[in-house]
Copies of this chain bind each other. A is one copy, B any other.
């Protein structure tokens, strides 16, 4: 790595060069963050040094009305046989290779790939998925050269990537985009958050990245047809991504809810039915549950352990009820030992929501995160995750 800046001798302990020309070596990749008017000159210097990969973080191109400058930039890169990410973007991150040419600095490698036409939305996803690990982050910016289609094609083949999460504002070639989504989603889930669902949003897009957004109904139908899983908000985008990264596709039709909070059990029941799933009937287990569980437990699904719940009761209940498509465990009180119980039942599909638990909650959630296990902050958001996992399974199995 060779930092270049005319006003510094050293950056983060590395010798700093005053120009690209001075670098005593060939370059593979140039990450450029200089005023827009100097970008093309710097690109040319880098090409002379052998660079073919370019990440242009600087803005001031098409989004600022300088289409010509952007075309010239792409022309220079392509003429040399290179490829360009950006301009007007937040860079790239590849923790598997120890390369973070972006911010924030996220080091943990794992299955989550994030492609984002917005730096902030990308950073939000990276930060909130870091405990699972990131495979690649690519900020699209103005996508003057490399776009989401190239990246979907690339990530489809990338063994380090388990899930592709894409925030997009539009695409230039609907047909190629759909093909890329379809191919990728046959191998790994593609979660999409699309900005510009309304007229106001589409107007805003024009000045953000200059993309023509097109009608939302068209995108919606295309996403569905191509097998993408579409999120309707930033938080849903996160919930879908976390769940698919951790669980992958699973058949989830019937869910068992075990809760310390009756009210949260009801919110979960509503969310489960709204998402087209069912509460599993557990009539044949009631007799044994009655015999082996304390008096205060409400014997149905949702199984309400009430505020007197302790971790061993979740354990016992799962032991008795046995296999189910999925469990949703709601810890609605400060219940220590939650993580250990879930770990013990790792043969089951268990979604966890922890809320209302003060310091005990903080400690338990920390244990889950350290183990790379997603915990959802409300029952409804856990069901969001379940929905994504189910939707992807149904897509793969054409149901």
Contacts and interface: CB of A to CB of B under 8 A. Distances in A.
Interface of A: 59-60, 63-64, 90, 104, 116-121, 123-124, 127, 167, 169, 195-201, 203-205, 207-209, 233-235, 260-267, 269-270, 272-274, 278-279, 295-296, 298, 300, 302, 304, 306-308, 332-333, 355-356, 358, 377-381
B270 A121 contact: no
B208 A124 contact: no
B269 A203 contact: yes
A235 B383 CA distance: 14
Contacts of A262: 63, 118, 204, 207-209
Q: Which 4 A-B pairs have the closest CB atoms?
A: A118-B263, A120-B261, A120-B332, A208-B262
Given A204-B262, A207-B300, 16 more contacts: A60-B295, A63-B262, A63-B298, A64-B296, A117-B263, A119-B261, A120-B333, A120-B355, A121-B263, A123-B356, A169-B263, A200-B279, A201-B270, A204-B266, A204-B269, A234-B379
Contacts of A120: 260-261, 263-264, 307, 332-333, 355-356
A124 to B, nearest CB: 5
Given A64-B298, A234-B379, A198 B269 contact: yes
A86 B90 CA distance: 55
A296 B273 CA distance: 48
A31 to B, nearest CB: 15
Contacts of A116: 263
A309 to B, nearest CB: 11
12 contacts: A64-B296, A90-B307, A119-B263, A120-B332, A120-B333, A121-B263, A198-B269, A204-B279, A207-B304, A208-B266, A233-B267, A234-B380
A71 to B, nearest CB: 20
Contacts of A377: 235
A306 B261 contact: no
A116 B208 CA distance: 44
Contacts of A117: 263
Given A120-B333, A380-B234, A204 B265 contact: yes
A269 B199 CA distance: 9
Contacts of A196: 266, 270
Nearest to A168: B263
A269 to B, nearest CB: 4
A306 B266 CA distance: 43
A124 B261 CA distance: 11
Given A118-B261, A121-B263, A60 B195 contact: no
Contacts of A269: 198, 200-201, 203-204
A263 B104 CA distance: 17
Contacts of A233: 267, 378, 380
A376 to B, nearest CB: 11
A113 to B, nearest CB: 17
Given A205-B266, A208-B304, A234-B379, A197 B119 contact: no
Contacts of A90: 307
A264 B121 contact: yes
Contact of A119 (B195, B267, B307): B307
A118 B264 contact: yes
A295 B59 CA distance: 11
A292 B111 CA distance: 45
Q: Which residue, A60, A199, A207, A295, has most C-beta atoms of chain B within 10 A? A: A207
